[in-house]
Amino acid sequence: MTVASSLQAVTKEYPGGVVALRNLSIEVGEGEHLAVVGPSGSGKTTLLTVMGTLERPTRGGVHVIGYDVGHASDRELAGLRAHALGFVFQGFHLQEAITAVDNVALGLLYTGQPLRQRREAARAALERVGLDHRLTHRPPMLSGGERQRVAIARAIVKQPRLILADEPTGNLDSKASAEVVGLLHGLASDGATLVLITHDGAIARGFDRRIQMRDGEIVSDERQ
């Protein structure tokens, strides 16, 4: 199996003595759809940010798509995020002053592509998430589910190899949640790896693999 992301004995401590991850090891295969569940403060988000190269571990080894995060420079990791990683957040993080297309085009900004090309790709991505009728709308004019779909389009516009979603349904009602999760499964079906944090058991059941976390450790790891 080719590995999309692997953590070997990773410990992450924050200043003040908070230990978010304790000697945690996990390998996520390429194309795998992994759900991470667990109570708040169990280290789910930290796991995601370490996998997403946004944070380096205090101890232990992290490899993402073959890159040794511990030994890569800020530039290399940024390149990795720009080209191969897609993030989806609970709070959407959309720019309110610009249109849906431009928000999605932002997903390609740091690849250095010219704006016209980015917008073209953004329109295609918005079409894929079913928002081709909302191209020029600004985020305040969109519903919660639509906003999250714009954020998903922004994450997948670069055709990432690894999609990392941190409670993407946390701010949505159950109907919109089901749509968003279905969309993520569908988008990641072409070989991309999907790691999604949720505390909704029903959502987690739709995944090939589920891990449960508590106090910075993995307490269960089940596959379908």
Partner 1 sequence: MSATTVTPRPRDEIASARLPVSQLIGTALQGPRARRLRAALSALGIAIGIGAMVAVVGVSASAQANLLAEIDALGTNLLTVTPGQTFVGANEVLPDTSVPMIEHMQQVDSDVAVYQVPSANVYRSPLVPQSETGGIGVDATADNLPEVLGTSMASGHFLDAVGDRYPEVVLGAQAAGVLQITDRPGGHVMVYLGNSWFTVVGILKPVLLDSSLDSDAFISLPVAERMFQTQPNPSEIYVRANVNAVNRVSGLLAASTDPQQPDGVQVSRPSDALEARAAAKGQFTTLLLGLGAVALLVGMIGIANIMVISVLERRGEIGLRRALGATKRHIWAQFLAESALLAVLGGLGGLLLGAGATALYAQAKHEPFVIPLYALIAAPAAGLVIGAIAGLYPAMKAARLSPTEALRAT
Supply the DSSP symbol for 39: -
Q: The tokens of 138 are what?
A: 């600004």
Interface with partner 1 includes 67 (CB under 8 A)? Answer: yes
Question: Rounded to the nearest whole angstrom, what is the least distance from the CB of residue 202 to partner 1 in the complex?
Answer: 25
Q: How far apart are CA 176 and CA 112, in angstroms?
A: 33
One residue of 36, 47, 51, 84 binding partner 1 per CB under 8 A: 84
One residue of 127, 132, 173, 221 binding partner 1 per CB under 8 A: 221
One residue of 43, 57, 107, 139 binding partner 1 per CB under 8 A: 107
Rg of the chain taking only CA atoms, in angstroms: 17
Q: Which is nearer to partner 1, 29 or 206 (CB)?
A: 29
Q: How far apart are CA 33 and CA 36, in angstroms?
A: 10
Question: Rounded to the nearest whole angstrom, what is the least distance from the CB of residue 176 to partner 1 in the complex?
Answer: 20
Question: Rounded to the nearest whole angstrom, what is the least distance from the CB of residue 11 to partner 1 in the complex?
Answer: 16
Rounded to 5°, angle at Cα 164 from 158 and 169: 110
Interface with partner 1 includes 217 (CB under 8 A)? Answer: no
Closest CA to 156 of 125, 177, 133: 125
Contact between 28 and 57 under an 8 Å Cβ cutoff? The reply is: no
Piece of 73-81, 122-130, 173-181, 197-205 that binds partner 1 (CB under 8 A):
73-81
Q: Which is nearer to partner 1, 106 or 178 (CB)?
A: 106
Interface with partner 1 includes 208 (CB under 8 A)? Answer: no
Q: How far apart are CA 167 and CA 16, in angstroms?
A: 26
Piece of 26-34, 36-44, 176-184, 197-205 that binds partner 1 (CB under 8 A):
26-34
Distance in Å from the first CA to the final CA of the chain: 17
Contact between 85 and 64 under an 8 Å Cβ cutoff? The reply is: yes
Interface with partner 1 includes 178 (CB under 8 A)? Answer: no
Interface with partner 1 includes 110 (CB under 8 A)? Answer: yes
Q: What is the number of residues in the chain?
A: 224
Interface with partner 1 includes 19 (CB under 8 A)? Answer: no
